Amino acid sequence: MSSPVRPFRRDPLATIEAMRDRLNRLLGDAFTGYRGRTPLWHPDIDVEDRDDATVIEVRLPGVAPDEVAVDVTGRDLLVRAVHAEGDSGDATETAPRSAVARRYADFSYRLTLPPDADPDSVDATMDHGLLTITVPRSRSTGSRRVSIGRRTIEGQPTAEA
């Protein structure tokens, strides 16, 4: 006896995703309005919570430290990078050029710091395209015991216990 034939089921979402990927490869960012500019730049970011600090690592290959800004406002940490690459201007003005290709990309990442973070002690270093931001934890516990006093009513003395 032959085994029963099972109907072939096609996943319609997989077909749509495959078509979208093909179109993206064919068209690139032709319709985004960014001429020579890459609007979507998503570097790899790792955030690690340690006992003594929060450590954020951002991989920015080919980006110089002067192209990166790290700002702390209240409990918000903002990392921004603007990177432009292309010809370095070393060519002489008399050299014939048929085309000049440049790539421009910008990136921003916002993170809300934990309540026990010490925003005044944030440290950032960059080494070979790896930006490391260390946000230490506050040394104070943030809690304290509040003593309870007695309220006095005008004209009446308080009873001493």
Domain ranges of the chain: 42-87+102-136
pLDDT value at position 141?
A: 60
| Nearest of 65, 58, 77, 67 to residue 105 by alpha carbon | 67
Task: Report the percent of the chain where pLDDT is more than 90.
Answer: 27
Q: Tokens for 126?
A: 């960059």
Task: Give residue 34's pLDDT band: very low, low, confident or very high (50, 70, 90).
Answer: very low
Between 105 and 37, where is the model more confident?
105
For residue 104, pLDDT beyond 60: yes
pTM as predicted? 0.56
Task: Give residue 13's pLDDT band: very low, low, confident or very high (50, 70, 90).
Answer: confident
Q: Is 145 exposed, middle or buried (0-12, 13-18, 19+ CB in 10 A)?
A: exposed
What DSSP designation does 50 have? Answer: -
For residue 140, pLDDT beyond 90: no
CATH architecture of 42-87+102-136: Sandwich (2.60)
